Structure 1
Amino acid sequence: MRETPASRLTRRSLLKGAGAASTGTLLAGCTGDGASDETQTTEEGASETATETTTAESTTTETGGGYSVSMSPVGTVEFDAVPENVFTVFPQYADMAVALGHGDAVNSVYVPEMSGTTMNHYNHHLDGVSFDWEGLHDPLSNSFSKELLYELDSDVHLADPAWATTQKNWNQSDVEEIATQLSPWFGNFYSGTRAPAPDGYDDYQYYDLWELFGKVASVFRERERYEALAEVHSNLVSSIREKLPPKDERPSAVRVTLAQDGESFYTYHLNKPGYWLADTRPLGANDAFADEDWQSLWGTVDYETMLEADPDVILHLWGITPSYSMADTRSKLEENASGSQLKAVENDRVHAAGMRYQGPIMNLFQIEMGAKQLYPDIFGEWPRYEDGDHYPEIPEGEWLFDRNRVADIVAGRTE
């Protein structure tokens, strides 16, 4: 396993400064993955792994007055104390910090207004839980900047050093400099789709979302919170699976984003490996594009291809974020001669979906959302989502997981 130097969690004085929150630029279709959209995806689909419904074993080792946590590709990382100033890029790590009661430690996140607003669309239903995103830095607003990392002077970087080496003006020596001069890296990006890691990371190991969450929980020394939330997740997934109809009776569906010109779709799979699909894979819908190999993390199709697939349900990725208008999306589909013929459009089954960069809280809500959108006769009707609103109100008797229990766990009431 690749070793990354760890440094002591002491306050440094290098290039400190508050800095104004930056405004991120949304890239077409996929809302930006840095270099990841050019990475080849070679592993074919598989059903959800058993580990996604079990709690990950603790990887924490006591080392004198401190402790260490191990994860690929960073190796074993030593900590003197629980991090209080935490760098994140993608919001799954910010969501993990919130879920573990350490949301206030986060100093950066990709497009803070989009990520933070979306997280709070879900947190709205958890009493006392919120993410204060205003004033946070966007680490990708002006490429991935080493200067920003020095400025933020974080106690840990919840980002993947392998991914960092693929960014503009970065190489392995830059990654090692940050780990040595500032603080450790602790992230795993390529488990998102099980895509191959960059050269030099041949022993890269993949994790599912809840295994990864367990590793981060060990960094924050919050195993009880993690195990309690993992139990909620396990119960949610098992309760859904036991009620799913036979495969040939399940709806066909696609996960897409309508391009801004309204003439094509960015497409994503439903049931392939990787934590980007941690909300759709447990639901077992029939992926209308299951046999498509786009040779990248996403593909594009035109209306003709969509009509050939003609799915029962269209799940519009990013639809519940402030970055897209579902009203506009539905209008464009209805006004297009081909789009209006789609079965999902005719039957009003074009639904707002969430974000693929999902942490544990987002994952719980997005699994519930998808279950109701795909199987309303089994799990209850999905209330129509209106642009700008929070996650819709659902009567308590129709919840698929207990919001009060989750709020208690985040607050530290795990018993």
Structure 2
Amino acid sequence: MARDDAVHGTPTRRAFAKYGGTVALGGLLAGCTGGDGAESDSSDGDTTGNGSADGGSADASEESQSEDDAAASYTASIAPMGEVTFESPPETVFTRLTHHADMAFALGRGDGITAMHAPDYYDGLWNQYVERLPGVSLDWSGLYSSWEPDKEKLYELDSDIHLADPAWVTQVEGWDRSDVDEIATNVSPWFGNSLSDRHQEPADEWAHGYEYYGLWEQFERVAEAFDERARYEALAAVHEDLLSTIEDRLPPESERPTAVMIAAADIESIYAYTLSNPGFLTSHTRPLGPRDAFEGSVESGTVVDFETILEADPDVILYLGGMEPGTDMAGRRTAFEEDAVSSEITAVQNDRIHPQGARYQGPILNLFQLEMTAKQLYPDAFGAWPRYESGPYPEIPASEQLFDRQRVADVINGDL
């Protein structure tokens, strides 16, 4: 059933959703099976000529098709939407944040992404890692930038699924609950969770039943929405093996280094981030258990200066965005080394300022970031991390790799 983009009152053909009691499931199902009022009246009441016989045959055919569609449909569930029913696996995917874009990519839908936040920036960053996955490619450049999405643009994109959190979207100016319900009804469902990033409080209208998920817990639910259980299980097995390797080699807490994570577009504005707080933003540092050099005195996202970092005196500095192609990692190190204050920091003196990728990571980036952070924090246990300045993710000797690149590549490409 084709939808006229100029008419916003026709339900999507691809999927229908029910969450929070706002979407009429019966009406959506009727719309998707061709049942508007005029057609129903004609087929039920036409007794002229041979219309009765033809109508009966058509009714039987439509009933059979409806039964086939119902048999092919499946459901998936995630907060805050609740249960969502899909008529077929989504192919085109609207995203807003990169943890969702990475999930779609992991499930073989990387080419189907229609929108994401800062697409050119994250295309460059993700490709630094994808370079190490044989036979895998990714191109997000030039996509619609969806940080502040325009509702009319969502109609135009006509995506099969909106892999984004409606509780977060309604925080954007110009959006409210009625707007997200409209898109769910007329285009396709929302299916995403973002407030699990650091366990943010949802607005009151979304608070009832809102749940927080770990990164891989959410990925499992997203995989169910795409009917890609096998892909999820294959990648989850790689992740579990990686975590087991980390747990087996992790030194006692008393022998672990102190660390801080920072981000800075320039040295004048340095943002500090915590390493072990709840939420999927720390899913690559929390399992490694480094000691917080700030000892809890600095909240995530706080602006700090060199004096504050020197007072904490970390053994390791993790530099967010350092893997992005446009970042001058060598220049960032030099800025620390040449300043009278920051040059006294232990991490600077021992050449332990290391690049990081992104906190809004999905499963693929998480595997790489667990490996790289393990090497940055514990080189004796996991093998040394190369002194990175530019270029793609370094080539790690096969004997020192902590997960199987070829296996991950095969899963993304559908070779299970």
Q: How would you bin the TM-score normalised by the shorter chain?
A: 0.7 to 0.9
After TM superposition, give the deviation of residue 380 of structure 1 in Å: 0.5
Q: How does 1:164-313 map to 2 (within 5 A)?
A: 164-202=169-207, 203-260=209-266, 262-292=267-297, 294=299, 297-313=300-316
Name the residue aligned to 2:338: 335
Name the residue aligned to 2:121: 114
The question of 1:380 aligning with 2:387 is answered: no
In terms of mean alpha carbon deviation, does 317-326 or 192-201 score higher? 317-326
Structure 1 CA distance, aligned partners of 2:125 and 2:243? 22
C-alpha contact (below 8 Å) 1:263/1:303 kept by paired residues: no
C-alpha contact (below 8 Å) 1:194/1:273 kept by paired residues: yes
Q: Which amino acid aligns with 1:175?
A: V
Give the TM-score normalised by the residue count of structure 2: 0.82
Query: Which sections of structure 2, spanning at least 5 residues, go unmatched?
Result: 1-18, 33-68
Secondary structure at 2:260 match in 1: strand
Secondary structure at 2:381 match in 1: helix
Q: Which amino acid aligns with 1:283?
A: L
Name the residue aligned to 1:404: 406
Q: Which amino acid aligns with 1:195?
A: Q
Name the residue aligned to 1:79: 86
Specify which structure has the higher proportion of helix.
2
Indicate the RMSD between aligned Cα atoms, in angstroms: 1.8
After TM superposition, give the deviation of residue 290 of structure 1 in Å: 4.0
Structure 2 CA distance, aligned partners of 1:195 and 1:109? 21
Residues 363-388 of structure 1, C-alpha deviations (whole Å, 9 max, x = no match): 0000000000000011011012222x
Residues 209-243 of structure 1, C-alpha deviations (whole Å, 9 max, x = no match): 00111111111111011001001001101111111
| Greater RCO (Cα-Cα under 8 Å, separation 6 or more) | 1
Structure 2 CA distance, aligned partners of 1:374 and 1:4? 48
Name the residue aligned to 1:155: 160
Q: Which of the residues 386, 391, 394 maps onto 1:392? A: 394
C-alpha contact (below 8 Å) 1:165/1:175 kept by paired residues: yes
Query: Which sections of structure 1, spanning at least 5 residues, go unmatched?
Result: 11-61
Q: Which amino acid aligns with 1:193?
A: R
C-alpha contact (below 8 Å) 2:92/2:109 kept by paired residues: no
Secondary structure at 1:305 match in 2: helix
Secondary structure at 2:322 match in 1: coil
Q: Which of the residues 371, 374, 381 maps onto 2:374? A: 371
* Alignment: residue pair count: 357
Residues 324-378 of structure 1, C-alpha deviations (whole Å, 9 max, x = no match): 3212211211222111111111110000011011111100000000000000011
C-alpha contact (below 8 Å) 2:120/2:142 kept by paired residues: no
Residues 175-198 of structure 1, C-alpha deviations (whole Å, 9 max, x = no match): 111111211111101101111112
Q: Which amino acid aligns with 1:400?
A: L
Secondary structure at 1:118 match in 2: helix
Structure 1 CA distance, aligned partners of 2:345 and 2:21? 51
Structure 1 CA distance, aligned partners of 2:295 and 2:81? 33
Give the TM-score normalised by the residue count of structure 1: 0.82
Structure ID, larger Rg:
2
Q: Identity over the aligned pairs, expressed in percent?
A: 51
Secondary structure at 1:116 match in 2: helix
